[in-house]
Structure 1
């Protein structure tokens, strides 16, 4: 039995944070119904990195496995009535509309809890649902910038460096996933539903638990290193260094050990704790000089034998062929009705008693509309009427 088998989730979210959170619930066995407008969620049509699929783009495929799709016009009375009927069968409702939109559509918490008092309602916003920034666009880069994190990344005199992936969206998704599970557990114990509020700003602030506390408690200012250094609060050498044929990640290396491996007496006098911050640029420069002389493979072997923490710097292509990644089963591959063979990242944790699997590929828009509405007791004639009126979109059957 799946962990969340018997739990129904209505996913009205778009973009990344909401769909990712809902997919994690689906991976645990919840019946996640992705409620989409007649044209489909915009992510179906917006390519990431130019990766346009035949009918469904890669970004949508990555965030919507194990879900069913109900394509319905919530701006129509009949469409909203059908959704309200569906809410009566749901355990979790998830949305990430801009503040005020849910109320205008008639799917806000107060309205829906009147229909299902024990509903767990998860609302994701950019900055919070009230306050001076409530109406600002909750976009990943803007929130990375506001979170304070970027002033620890990059070099002095250059713009702060942003993460090259949607870091804030991912943390917000995990926060929403945790919040939904906690509220379901609370409901199991008390019978009470509740509103779970998640905002992306708080999510990325909480992700910097150590770094911000070093500043607030320890009074240590942020700084960006002129030389190679990956974290302003970690002593040198710490970062990504060039080798003769690529790059090497070096972490928490003792200068005295590096002095022996490199045969570099200039490193020997440095004490890791005493000089790791004070002489950060000098230490990093000496390390860089030596690492440039040999290929990455040589240093992985030589430094590894000396007990130095180091590792390769992979591209995605390297990652896909790594033996540890293959051993862990870090990726899942399945067949999609329009896109063919699809490979995406898999599951971040493993359950021995209830293993996670891909039961359904990311759905075609409206693929399950008829199925879901029939489950509500609607007749074929009633569903056909909604389709004819443009309230519901049903995907044609596929062989």
Structure 2
């Protein structure tokens, strides 16, 4: 039994940030009902990386486990009635519609609060609910670009460097998850629901609390190096370096110890803290020249002996094969009715008394439509009439090609 067992979440979100936040609530035991159009959320039909599944794409699988799917036409009066009835039974309502859409669909905060004053209503946006950018599309790369983070990595002659993951989507998702939990705790103490607003821009700013404070408080500008460097505000060497057979990561070692490990006496002439910043290019060049003389494994062993922070640079294949990843159970494997055995990233935290678990795989579009309607008191005849009218869509098995 999860810590949120008995709580119900209505998830009207799409793409990554909202669905990830809702999935984390589901991982903790909440009954998450994904409200999607009768044809299914668009991400079912636009697979990331071209990873097309039999019926459910890999990206959708990754973001929608522990949910039930209610496929309903929210633009119809009867469809809104169904969702309003569902909201009356819910604890959390989550949406990331573009501005104005929630109101047009009758699921804005005032409408939902009127149906359920105890509701925790989580509204997610790209740039904020109001303001000059409120109507802009909140896409991860665009927010990365605006956040300033791209000028903290790489060398000055290169273009700004984006993250290799949807970092802003993820931090916005965890902000929404955190906000929902805090609001539920407030409700448990006071009986009052409330509105939680999260936007990707503020999340992108908040996650750079150290970097931006170095600029705003310390007055140190972002200045990238001539040589590749992993972060403008961290002393050299800091980044990824080529060895004779691959790459390794090296993180701000004391230069005297590094001089001994690499057998490059010149490095000991630099002051670790002062020159580590001022002489980044020279220090980096000395390390670049030396590391190709030995293999990654050899250097990692040497660095371990000298107490220097270093590590391998993995591909995804390497990551899955790592013994610590296996020991941690960082990935979960389960059976899906249409996709077979699937493996996806697991849970980022552990709870000793109420551990998160996979209770159900990502749903197929409308897979639990009839189940949810039955929960809400719709009879079999009522359900059949709604299906016939096109208000809702139950899951239908796909015919295998001949």
TM-score in terms of structure 1 length? 0.98
Preserved CA contact (<8 Å) 1:228 1:241: no
Report what 2:41 is aligned to.
41
Q: What is the CA–CA distance in structure 2 between the aligned matches of 1:28 and 1:362, rounded to whole Å?
A: 15
Report what 1:361 is aligned to.
361
Offset of 1:273 from its aligned partner?
1.1
Q: What is the CA–CA distance in structure 1 between the aligned matches of 2:225 and 2:166, rounded to whole Å?
A: 24
Report what 2:289 is aligned to.
289
Q: Deviations over 1:186-221 (max 9, x none)?
A: 000000010000000000100000000000000000
Preserved CA contact (<8 Å) 1:23 1:65: yes
Extract structure 1 runs of 4+ deviating beyond 2 A: none
Q: What is the CA–CA distance in structure 1 between the aligned matches of 2:54 and 2:88, rounded to whole Å?
A: 36
Offset of 1:396 from its aligned partner?
3.7
Q: How many residues are matched?
A: 398
* Structure 1 unmatched ranges of 5 or more: none
Q: What is the CA–CA distance in structure 2 between the aligned matches of 1:188 and 1:262, rounded to whole Å?
A: 58
Q: In the alignment, is residue 93 of structure 1 matched against residue 93 of structure 2?
A: yes
Offset of 1:397 from its aligned partner?
7.0
Q: In the alignment, is residue 208 of structure 1 matched against residue 208 of structure 2?
A: yes
Q: What is the CA–CA distance in structure 1 between the aligned matches of 2:340 and 2:244, rounded to whole Å?
A: 40
Report what 1:347 is aligned to.
347
Q: In the alignment, is residue 136 of structure 1 matched against residue 136 of structure 2?
A: yes
Report what 1:334 is aligned to.
334
Report what 2:304 is aligned to.
304
Q: Deviations over 1:335-393 (max 9, x none)?
A: 11111111000000011101111110000111101011011111000000000111111
| 2:285 alignment partner, SS class | helix
Report what 2:221 is aligned to.
221
Aligned-residue CA RMSD in angstroms?
1.0
Report what 2:123 is aligned to.
123
Q: What is the CA–CA distance in structure 2 between the aligned matches of 1:288 and 1:298, rounded to whole Å?
A: 16
TM-score in terms of structure 2 length? 0.98
| 1:333 alignment partner, SS class | strand
Q: Deviations over 1:83-104 (max 9, x none)?
A: 1111100000000000110001
Report what 1:113 is aligned to.
113
Preserved CA contact (<8 Å) 1:365 1:395: yes
Preserved CA contact (<8 Å) 2:225 2:232: yes
Q: In the alignment, is residue 31 of structure 1 matched against residue 37 of structure 2?
A: no
Q: What is the CA–CA distance in structure 2 between the aligned matches of 1:38 and 1:231, rounded to whole Å?
A: 46
* Structure 2 unmatched ranges of 5 or more: none
